[in-house]
Amino acid sequence: MKAVVTGGAGFIGSHLVEELLAEQFEVHIIDNLVSGKQKHVNPQAIFHLADISSEQIKPLIVDIRPDVVFHLAAQADVQRSIQNPGYDAMVNLVATIYLLEACRDAAVSKFIFASTSAVYGNLQKEQIVETDPTCPISYYGISKYSAESYIRVFHQLYGLPYTILRYGNVYGPRQTPKGEGGVVAVFMERIQKGTPLTIHGDGEQTRDFVYVKDVVRANVAAMKRGEQEIIHVSTANRTSINDLARLLTEFHEADLPIIHSLAREGDIKHSNLDNRKGLECLGWQPKYEIRAGLEETYQSYINEMYESKRDAKGT
């Protein structure tokens, strides 16, 4: 089978590519390397340097004729979406429309879309379910919800099968310190540089942190299940930013000074997603608790730091 992964040189996409290759797929990566990295392009995959927000994407998809398209490429920086909403809409909405048109023309069997808990906005609820109202408070959340709407209508008009996966705050190795939910990567970057961990606001804001390997498993499960469904990919557990920082101090041998700054515009106070539908529709549930996933992430970043230092000494 053929699979296309947009954003396959990025954080989640590169992990998904690895899993698909392990399952003997012919994998095509589409990435413009704006946020993705060349070093994360798996050599066993077929790489296409292309911008999904350009109409060149249509003939490319038609030429590949994939069985499944995983659409993970996105502008995922909430603050950048506020500063430049037009760019955000082009990457997250217009590019999705181009892809949908291409998938229709190429008779793609399944379109799997990476969405976000940001579509709910600052919904004051202990745990959010998929049927709760959506009210984004950032242009990023608006663009992702609008893309979901186009996907649903494309199915109604053309019969294109889909699954929409709304992620919690994904973390893990290869994550960049920018983008939605990137606080773990930000903290790891500061640990590598030996600078204090900065927490925006009082640090009591909470997130539903889900490990990247669990997210990959949900995407793979969505190839055969979850038809025309919106499904949370989450742990259904809350972790505060303060608790996140405390866990990292346990793993790190040196002191980690923590400082607080002003809260950021557009940030959501609390986010926790009910994940029971994932088990019901996908047969999926997360395997990693926050401590295990965070420790594996920490070790990966530390190993990368040591390798970089070793390579620098050798040159």
Catalytic positions, written as ranges: 140
Instruction: List residues bridging with 273 in a β-sheet.
Output: 128
Contact 62, 102 (CB under 8 A): yes
- 56 in helix, strand or coil? coil
Mutual orientation of helices 95-105 and 139-158 as an angle, nearest 10°?
20
* Residue whose tokens read 């995983």: 70
The rounded distance, in Å, linking the Cα atoms of 314 and 74 is 36
Q: With b meaning 16 or more CB within 10 Å and e meaning fewer, what string describes 205-241?
A: bbbbbbbbbbbbbbbbbbbeebeebbbbbbbbbbbbb
**Contact indicator for 312, 189 with CB cutoff of 8 Å:** no
Which strands make up the sheet holding 26-31, listed edge to edge? 46-49, 26-31, 2-6, 68-71, 110-116, 162-167, 229-233
Beta strands in 142-215 (DSSP E): 162-167, 169-171, 197-200, 206-207, 209-211
> Which amino acid does the sequence have at 237?
N
Distance, in Å, from the CA atom of 34 to the CA atom of 259, rounded to the nearest integer, reads 31
